[in-house]
A = this chain, B = another copy of it.
Amino acid sequence: MGFVRNAWYALSWSHEIGADILLARKVLGKPVIAWRKSSGEVVALADMCPHRFAPLSKGEKVGDGVRCVYHGLEFDGTGKCTHNYHGVAPSSAQVQSFPIREEQKLVWIWMGDVELSEKVAIPEIPFLTEEGWRIQFGTTNAKAGYELYNDNLLDLTHATFLHGVIGGPEWKPKTRIRELDDGRIHCNYLVEEMGVLGDNEKRVQVEDNLYWTAPSTHVLSIEHTPRSATATPFYVISCHLLTPETERSTHYFWAGAVPAGVPIPDEVLHDTLRTAFEIEDKPMLEAIQANMGEADLWDLNPVLLPADSGAVRARRRLKALREEERQ
């Protein structure tokens, strides 16, 4: 399989990298360490001292650099060895560094060919930085490949049976799936009338819109329009960023927001989102990965349904990107 390497991946939420943090996280199979310089800039290196392969993340920040706790070699944010406590800093001691951008409350990392990083855009997730939203954030890790997560999000008919609160038995949407000119995939789901969250008296129209940007960024809005006197309008928007840790495990960064004035307590909003993404979706995707073992999806000859067309297009797109990178 392999990864799409020439892409910006979420490494963390910005708030995960406080002033004193050495963040250790494996990305695309490589151990990475990241930290924030006094200027606020985040830098990322391979999390292996080139001397004896100690994880630099076991060390500590020294000024704007990091000191390996094993023999005390210090490295700056470019990976250059700046100090050797016991002698001359060896010029050959250079740790691989990774381009980092901090945008939209996320720290993005580039694991591919450095000269291409400027040519590739970071997916836009406007609600993360716009005024007027109350946002909840989550970070988790799942023992399932990131393409299984793409498949999951690109076919929201799964909400009917898997999700209590955001789906349920009346979730039988009309589905329109299309590829946009910019390569994104847009899935539109419409249920003209259904009960709200198990309350069959309150009738609403529900419309979901999901936009996928390769390789693994999803933005999903859910809108309720009242169809009965007791129902109220409701709008929630979320993003889902899937960063491969290994071929069969994924870092999952999610956020969900409602308009600032909506009278839902923060904890309720957070728990509702977390339940759907971490309690309902995640064990299912891990069980599927366990069932599939090391097999590729296509080798198992899945039966495809019309609702799979978004996921199938995304998989084709990722395959094409991987093949392009190999040339």
A interface residues with partner B (beta carbon < 8 Å): 31, 47-48, 50-55, 58-59, 67-72, 84-87, 90, 92-93, 151, 155, 157-158, 160-162, 172-173, 175, 284, 287-288, 291-292, 297, 300-308
Residue of B nearest to A47 (CB): B291
Closest to A51 in B: B303
A305 touches which one: B87, B284, B303 (CB < 8 A)? B87
Contact, CB under 8 Å: A158 / B70: yes
Partner of A70 from B84, B162, B301, B304 at Cβ < 8 Å: B162
Q: Known A70-B284, A71-B161, A161-B71; judge A50-B303 contact (CB<8 A).
A: yes
Q: Which residues of B contact A68 (CB under 8 A)?
A: 161
Verify B54–A161 contact, CB threshold 8 A. Answer: no
What is the distance, in angstroms, from A83's C-beta to the closest C-beta of chain B?
12
Q: How far is the CB of A201 from chain B (nearest CB, A)?
A: 23
A161 touches B59 (CB 8 A): yes
3 cross-chain pairs, A with B, having the tightest CB-CB distances, nearest first = A93-B303, A86-B157, A50-B303
Does B51 contact A305, Cβ atoms closer than 8 Å?
yes
Give every chain B residue within 8 A of A304 (Cβ-Cβ): 51
- In the complex, the answer to whether B84 meets A31 with C-beta atoms within 8 Å is no
B71 lies within 8 A of A284 (CB): no
**A45 nearest CB across to chain B (Å):** 13
Question: A87-B307, A284-B58, A305-B84 in contact; A291/B48 too (CB < 8 A)?
Answer: yes
| Other A-B pairs beyond A55-B287, A86-B175, 7, CB < 8 Å | A53-B297, A54-B288, A69-B162, A71-B157, A71-B305, A87-B305, A87-B307
